[in-house]
A and B are shown apart, each in its own frame.
Chain A
Amino acid sequence: SQQGEEDPQALSIQEGENATMNCSYKTSINNLQWYRQNSGRGLVHLILIRSNEREKHSGRLRVTLDTSKKSSSLLITASRAADTASYFCATDKAAGNKLTFGGGTRVLVKP
């Protein structure tokens, strides 16, 4: 199975609502990253949180990391139609430069 697994697989919300998605992983990590992928496009980096950090903010994004539970969450506040995309968490193992991606959460923001 993949190192990172997102939950839920799909999410549908109204514009203005918050969207929360979770990521679980199995092995020790140096950092955890979140990426967005619009349909038919490449992945775009959103935020990186290091293993010694618990929370990080970037604009309308809030990421938490709980290394004891091996889990992370991504919160998008005040969602917009333009936030419609797939969101992936990605982890590196404690050794090596391999970034392993989860299966993603498909988010639909309805106007």
Chain B
Amino acid sequence: NAGVTQTPKFQVLKTGQSMTLQCAQDMNHNSMYWYRQDPGMGLRLIYYSASEGTTDKGEVPNGYNVSRLNKREFSLRLESAAPSQTSVYFCTTTGYYEQYFGPGTRLTVT
């Protein structure tokens, strides 16, 4: 029972490159979320998926797209990376109330 897994753990991109962050959960939860964490800013919601087949914008969605591939997987895509997207990205899931975090992806855009 791995909980929430994320790949990759680290990534360095050049401005303008694209990449997809992968997230998978084996907790059989309906809801999944992507947050970014920046120094002094706490965590901010990028996108979320309340159930398979649905996605909605969070607080800071610009520059990102998401796909809820199935109940287990929720991916985050950066189409054209910018230095402002340098951050640590967390995928989370929730069954009813408590949120469970993945280990995070540390992304640097140069």
A binds B: no
Chain A residues within CB distance 8 Å of chain B? none
